[in-house]
Structure 1
Amino acid sequence: MEKYIVNEDGKIFYKVIGEGKPILFIHGGPGLTHNYFLPHFLELAKLNYKLIFFDQRGNGKSTYLNNSKYINIDQFTNDIEILRKELNIDKLIIFGHSMGTFFAMDYAKKFPQNVENLILCNATPMNLSTLGKMNEIMIKRLNPYTKDLDNITNTVNFKNYDKDTLKKYLVELNRHNFFDENLVYKLFDGVDINESYIKNFEFINTTLLNEYVNLLSDYDISSIESPILIINSDYDFIPIESSLYIKNKVNQCEIKTIYKSGHYPFIEKTEEVINTIDGYLKKFEI
């Protein structure tokens, strides 16, 4: 099932696959789309889970009025609540990836009664010191690709938003995110990369990340009551300190490391991630 929720300030695209316990997937970026989750999580639909994917406002098939006041963390978090009400679900299992983990935790803080479990995959830093360490790692990882990236951005095709050139650039930009670089192409399967995609990503990414960084100095996650599973990777640019910080701040938290994988373990180690999620959630069945 694919539908839109139409609001006065835009529309939210969502897709539902399967029946059973509802898992809502929150993509990262900010500024990406739900597409990179597919088809890697479809096996969960065969294990009695209802999979709910959506594009955050301004991303992919979701839209927003051309006004920056509609692009903020509160609005993005409230969109999750709007989606929950639309689907008439009492309690959600929420899977957040990368920056999507921030929105998952923000939702759990604001709507604790509506969250059953949180699964945080490659959890974004929740304090400034870890964010600084992450940025250092990312810069170091990107350095070997700088020359190739510059060669692409200096071309006429790139400046004219040629689709093939844009995709080539994004593939090169994301190689460092994979333990096995040959799998980087799977990140953009089924994604229409064009001028609109790039401009929306740049605007939303910059706007939300600035707000996120400003919040981190006193953002408190200790009030989160939902049980949490953190899935991290041994080759991620996000350091283990990010996971440990969250674990030390909340009451119920487990950490699972997926080895020989980078920032997208569900692409590189799909079966292991599926089994980890299913095994964790089965512990809460009555």
Structure 2
Amino acid sequence: MLRCKAGQRNKYVFLIKFHLMKLLFHLTFLFLITYNFQAQTEETIEYKDGKLHYSTYGAGDPVLIINGGPGISSAGFGELAKLLSEDNITIIYDQRGTGNSKIHTNTNTDFTIDLMVEDIEILRKHLGYENWIVLGHSFGGMLAYAYAAKYPERVSAMIQSHSGGMDLRLRDYPDLRDRLSRSQQDELNQLVLKISLGDTLRETRYQRAKLMAIAYLNDSTRTSEVAERLMTTDRTINSQVWANMNLIGFDVSEEMKNFNKPVLILNGIDEIVHKDIAIYADSVLPDSRLILMKDCGHYGWIEKPEIYLKEVKEFLKSN
């Protein structure tokens, strides 16, 4: 057995305590850094039409993320917001009538693309930003185009992620059913019919959403996750927004010809949103860069993160 004198013992005790305190300091510092990186702020704005809910991640220059839909909350985009919050403050929000954003009335005239654009501007003014980078995904890309067309001075740069486009040419291409097998199409048609006849079972809605998710993704391991998100779609809001866009003949391509800010366009080569929509946007925009990803469905950060996140982060750093 080793023995030490009292003085030596006290010295060792002091050194142990010193190093423990030093370790505790570094762990506390690391915790604070991690906490700040993961910090999320949530707030609900009250305005004339109702309430608008948003969340923020990180710190730095602002990036607004507009999720797809319409009729879906921003809840499923927290993952993307966190991934992009290393050097920026990323903002997601629930579009009118979805999630925690409530409106006073619920009629056809309450869900228009113009009102949704004004909601974004209300959020910008509330947060106090002179301008921001806007990332729009899927339908959110269409809404981002509409916002940039009306408020170009408020958009410092734009990211179009698997975007529905700057007009309605999306209607000219095959729909999601064409990405399913014949038997899957038949099953989907039967499920849609059952729901239209009054079937309210969760399992019925889930099976429909799961088939839709198969069409959206190339990576089958994330099907259940996407299906759960698709189940939250408010079909009434969805149909009302599309009806409004059809009514007004949504098309901001002329405005985009004069949009001189940098634009990054990302799309899958073979996905539910045809690559020609992204190629057309690239031909219209004066300062755009197009990234087409192989073997990628409708969610680049899920299926091709090594390409999608690399390109988006580099774009954010340079703008």
TM-score (norm 1): 0.86
Equivalent position of 2:285 in the other structure: 250
Q: 1: distance between equivalents of 2:250 and 2:66?
A: 24
Alignment of 1:80-159 (within 5 A): 80-128=120-168, 130-134=169-173, 136-142=174-180, 144=182, 145-153=184-192, 159=198
Shift of 1:76: 0.1
The match for 1:233 among 258, 263, 268 is 268
Point out which structure has higher relative CO (alpha carbons under 8 A, 6+ apart). Answer: 1
SS at match of 1:262: coil
Deviations 1:239-265 (A, max 9, x none): 222112212222101001222111111
Q: 2: distance between equivalents of 1:274 and 1:186?
A: 20
Q: 1: distance between equivalents of 2:130 and 2:193?
A: 51
Instruction: Specify every segment of 5 or more residues in structure 2 that has no aligned partner in the other structure, as ranges.
Output: 1-40
Shift of 1:124: 1.0
The match for 1:187 among 226, 231, 236 is 226
- The number of residue pairs the alignment matches comes to 275
- Report the AA paired with residue 39 of structure 1: E
- Report the AA paired with residue 138 of structure 1: L
Structure 1 pair 204–123 and aligned structure 2 pair: CA distance change class (3 A): same
Equivalent position of 1:207 in the other structure: 240
Whether 1:55 aligns to 2:85 is no
SS at match of 2:68: coil
Whether 1:275 aligns to 2:315 is no
Whether 1:262 aligns to 2:284 is no
Structure 1 pair 117–172 and aligned structure 2 pair: CA distance change class (3 A): same
SS at match of 1:123: coil
Whether 1:170 aligns to 2:209 is yes
Structure 1 pair 271–12 and aligned structure 2 pair: CA distance change class (3 A): farther
Q: 1: distance between equivalents of 2:289 and 2:190?
A: 43
Structure 1 pair 2–51 and aligned structure 2 pair: CA distance change class (3 A): same
- Report the AA paired with residue 13 of structure 1: H
Structure 1 pair 27–217 and aligned structure 2 pair: CA distance change class (3 A): closer
Q: CA-atom RMSD, angstroms?
A: 2.4
TM-score (norm 2): 0.78
Q: 1: distance between equivalents of 2:179 and 2:227?
A: 20
- Report the AA paired with residue 82 of structure 2: L
Higher Rg: 2
Deviations 1:207-230 (A, max 9, x none): 111222344475422232321100
SS at match of 1:30: coil
SS at match of 2:62: strand
SS at match of 2:259: coil
Deviations 1:82-125 (A, max 9, x none): 00111111111110001111111111111111111100011213
